Amino acid sequence: MEEIQPNLFRVEIPLPNSPLKFLNSYVIRSSDRNLIVDTGLNRKECLDAMRSGLQQLEIDPEKTDFFITHLHADHFGLLSKLVTDTSQVFFNRPERELIEASGWWERMVAYAAKNGFPENELRAAIQSHPGREFGSEWVPEINVLQDGDEIIAGNYRFRCVSTPGHSLGHTCLYEPDRKILVAGDHILIDITPNIQCWSDDQNPLQNYLASLDKVNDMEIDLVLPGHRRLITDHKARIAELKEHHDRRLKEVLTILGEDQQTAFQVASRMTWDLDCDSWEEFPRAQKWFATGEAIAHLRYLERKGLILRKDEGEMTRFSRNESPPLV
């Protein structure tokens, strides 16, 4: 527990077995309505940490509203255990539509198979997906907020900044007077927010890079990220993140070389910052994230005209475009 600014607190919520280690939940205390930004996984360790944090701060759950930066289970999952009848839940529209639509797990599984994820590992990968295990089936009543909308909590007046990329509708909160950005997983230090793509009609990496540019131009003194340490120099970190993706894109082009490959094959040849000797030893959930990340980079290159996508029968393969457009 840490008071970052008067009545703005960071509560550390443990994420057992996750390389992210913990989630930063931000709590704004007010004599009127309190606001909690992001919550943790829907599991006991997270609930215990949240409850003890709120007790220390003497926060009355009956007078508390919620803002969730994006739908990933480590941010959204615990919400179901915290809301009361009087709570308002603020969230973005694209992801509200996603959680209200049924059958998206099934569509993701079919899409992964099409991209070369082996049939025998698919179901197991889904079973061990944290969103499956510690998410929540329950859908709250949601107040949709859009880019530029305001939320007032105590002495803080936040403006929503839509930053799609890490997820479809990811949204940050900006406090212009204090020059604070509550960033969710848009900008993290030490770790690179993972950018996955699970549909042919999206280009999340392009969205992400555009969202980085958008935030880069803002006047920010302090970034409050969803995981790890607070960030003071957002421009330097954004430059590193952009460089990282640039390197990745070049790596994917090199891996494709002369061959036609599925996204799964490309993922197995990319370099990953994991404690495993070989791709075969990767935990299944990590193979899943890696494949989603490979697809995001492949789609970006495809839209740029640098690679070609071929849908043959049940399988999608990528190859280099030998005559790329001149730009």
Phi, psi (rounded to 5 degrees) for 156: -105, 135
Which of 25-33, 54-62, 71-79, 234-242 is the region at the interface with Zn ion (rule: CB under 5 A)?
71-79
CA distance 184 to 160: 12
Cβ-contact 245, 99 below 8 angstroms: no
- Least Å distance between CB 58 and Zn ion? 27
- Cβ-based nearer residue to Zn ion, 39 or 64: 39
Least Cβ distance, residue 49 to Zn ion (angstroms): 15
| Four-CA torsion 223, 224, 230, 234, nearest 10 degrees | -20
Which residue lies nearer to Zn ion by CB, 164 or 226?
Answer: 226
> If we measure between CA atoms, which residue out of 246, 290, 293 comes closest to residue 268?
290
Q: Which residues have CB under 8 Å from 25's CB, separation 6+?
A: 10, 11, 12, 13, 36, 37, 38, 39, 40, 50, 53
DSSP notation for 92-148 = -HHHHHHHHSS-HHHHHHHHHHHTT--HHHHHHHHHT-HHHHSS-S-----EE--TT
95 in contact with Zn ion (CB under 5 A): no
Give min distance, CB of 214 to Zn ion, in A.
20
Q: In whole angstroms, how close is the CB of 220 to Zn ion at the nearest point? A: 20
> Does 74 participate in binding Zn ion (rule CB under 5 A)?
yes
Residue in 185, 204, 238, 285 binding Zn ion, rule: CB under 5 A: 185
Stretch that binds Zn ion, among 153-161, 221-229, 256-264, 279-287 (CB under 5 A): 221-229
Spatial CA neighbour of 220 closest among 185, 252, 187, 259: 187
Nearer to Zn ion, 187 or 263 (CB): 187
Angle in degrees, 0-180, between the axes of helices 234-256 and 204-216, rounded to the nearest 10:
160
The answer to whether 65 contacts Zn ion (rule: CB under 5 A) is no
The minimum distance between CB 23 and Zn ion, in angstroms, equals 6
How far is it between the farthest Cα atoms of the chain? 64
Does residue 226 belong to the site contacting Zn ion (CB under 5 A)? yes
Tell me how far, at minimum, the Cβ of 155 lies from Zn ion, in Å: 27
CB nearer Zn ion, residue 74 or residue 175:
74
**In whole angstroms, how close is the CB of 188 to Zn ion at the nearest point?**
8
Interface mask (CB under 5 A) for Zn ion, residues 105-134, using x and -?
------------------------------
What does the alpha-carbon distance between residue 8 and residue 5 come to, in Å, rounded to a whole number? 5
Query: Which residues contact Zn ion by CB under 5 A?
Result: 74, 185, 226
